[in-house]
Amino acid sequence: MQSYRKKVLTLHEKCKSMTKKELYRLTTEYFERTMPEAATELKYDSPFQLLTAVILSAQCTDRRVNMVTPALFASYPTASSMAAATEADVLRLISSISYPNSKARHLIGMAQMLESDFGGEVPHTMEELTRLPGVGRKTANVVLSVVYGQAAMAVDTHVFRVSHRIGLVPPSCRTPLATERHLTHNLPEQLMARAHHWLILHGRYVCRAINPKCTECGLSAWCRKRI
């Protein structure tokens, strides 16, 4: 037992002096081994449906969104069909989602702008996406990375928490935008889209906000919060 503790202490001391490059390498190698096929847990069949689901997921769980979207997409599978809907019709289908009134309004406005400005298609730039009602930078980054495979990093509460705890970003990154810029500067471009899902899923199931499962975490040896 004493020998084991000594090895752990030695590893922790070594990790304290780890460079940022080494930290990113170890972290991405771990996730590549344990979550090689990481992807969004939202259910969708088209870019429009993913955009709709991500708008609904703001301050709401993916599980709840996936319970609501089958009926919503059955009634409004495309931008053109949702653009013609009334707020009352959409509200009835998403009433169990957080902030349903504003989200119903945003969904219809988003669908109408897709029809009027983008030919019914989901645009593929940050500038165009954030023009849409209900679409902020985080939502736009999800669409850019998941639908269009761009090297975009959406920073939600899980990504923000995990990246700070591990030490991928410094304490000075106090906002989602600062965190996004630091991560995109240091992560390999070819891993960016998967890294977004790695951090979200790790935060959702292991590095939880309350009662994190540190003893089960494969990153604990070099996690800055642990050492």
Out of 6, 14, 89, 138, the active site residue is 138
Q: Are residues 113 and 186 in the same domain?
A: no
**Tally of domains in the chain:** 2
Q: Which two three-digit tokens encode residue 24?
A: 């990113």
Query: pTM value?
Result: 0.88
Segment 142-149 mean pLDDT: 95
Return the DSSP state at 168.
S
Residue 7 lies in a domain: no
Query: Which domain CATH number covers 134?
Result: 1.10.340.30
Residue 140 lies in a domain: yes
How far CA 197 is from CA of 19, 22, 67, 77, in Å, comes to: 24, 21, 21, 25
Q: Is the pLDDT of residue 10 over 70?
A: no
Domain end point (choices 131, 146, 161): 146
Is 14 annotated as catalytic?
no
Domain end point (choices 96, 118, 146): 146
Is 103 annotated as catalytic?
no
Domain end point (choices 118, 146, 174): 146
Out of 20, 117, 156, 213, the active site residue is 156
User: Average pLDDT over the chain, rounded to whole?
Assistant: 92
In which domain, by residue range, is 177 found?
18-38+151-216
| CA 71, chain centre distance (Å) | 24
Residue 10 lies in a domain: no
Q: Which of 107, 112, 77, 79 is nearest to 91 (CA)?
A: 107
